Amino acid sequence: MTAESLKDAIKRELPVLLREDPAFRDDVLALVRQHHPTRGETEDWFHAMLRELRSDREASERKWAEQKAEAERKWAEQKAEAERDREASERKWAEQKAEAERKWAEQKAEADRDRAEQARRWDAQERKWEESNRHFDRVHEEIMAQSKKFDRSIGALGARWGIQSERAFRNALAGILEESFGVEVINVNEFDDEGVVFGRPEQIELDVIIKNGVLLICELKSSIDKAGLYSFERKARFYEARHQRQAQRLIVISPMVDGRARKVAEQLGIEIYHDSTDVESLDTA
């Protein structure tokens, strides 16, 4: 019998023998166990290996956790120490900064007090100078105004007695009005061909001021009496009728006014001033 035929016979007969012959089966199992563990042994070995691996893993995890905890503890200590150092540095810097700011504030406050005191002294001195200058200017202006009024009064007398022309005096008064109120005094010459003013055809002359659409008619003369007021009122009405405009104010400026003329001026609604500087405003009331 060859080896191959023997193997075939064993494969064919072995299962039957194992089923039917318990003693033979036990011998075969004993022989197999010498080279291969049983299922239970394999399971026990597997579970043992699992327990060992689990134990090793748990040991590794414990060791890693301990190492991690130690590293975290050291890091926390280093971080806390660094934080303490930073806080100490910040406190020191804050103290130094506060001290520097305090000294700077004290120096600045002292400098401000010195400047304020110096400014106060300068202001007081400047106020004294300004007040002195204003007082001097007022006195000078009053003197000059009185002087000019006096000169105009003398001029009026001169114009009255023919020493100088009436037109030169009129121009002086008109110039004061223009300088004081920023207006233009317009000298109007128109011919009254129907003789409305004087009862016969005649040249009519008067002064007008137009300010912001307001019409003012003026008479600027060295002297005036009742007849002069009546004549001025007729000339004003002639101008209004010809130009279809009504004057808001009739003004006479003359340093020499006949005492009887004032009542006539009130009746005719004519304002009388002795000098151009006496006119406070050219606006309508």
Residue 211: closest CA among 284, 114, 143: 284
The pLDDT of residue 34 is 66
Q: In this predicted structure, what is the pLDDT of residue 158?
A: 44
What is the distance between the alpha carbons of residues 182 and 215, in angstroms, rounded to a whole number?
Answer: 15
Instruction: Tell me the C-alpha distance between 73 and 84, whole Å.
Output: 16
Determine the Cα–Cα distance for residues 228 and 262; give it in Å rounded to an integer: 11
pLDDT tens-place values along the chain, 285 residues long: 677 887 777 777 777 777 777 877 777 777 766 666 666 666 776 777 778 888 888 888 888 888 888 888 888 888 888 888 888 888 888 888 888 888 888 888 888 888 888 888 888 888 877 886 776 576 546 545 554 554 444 444 444 434 345 777 788 778 878 888 888 899 999 999 999 898 999 999 999 998 888 899 999 888 889 999 999 999 999 999 999 999 999 999 888 888 888 999 999 999 998 887 787 787 765
Task: Check residue 277 and report its DSSP letter.
Answer: G
Q: How far is CA 148 from the centre of its chain?
A: 49
Which CATH entry fits the domain spanning 165-278: 3.40.50.10860, 3.40.1350.10, 1.20.58.100, 3.40.50.300? 3.40.1350.10
DSSP string, 46-103: HHHHHHHHHHHHHHHHHHHHHHHHHHHHHHHHHHHHHHHHHHHHHHHHHHHHHHHHHH
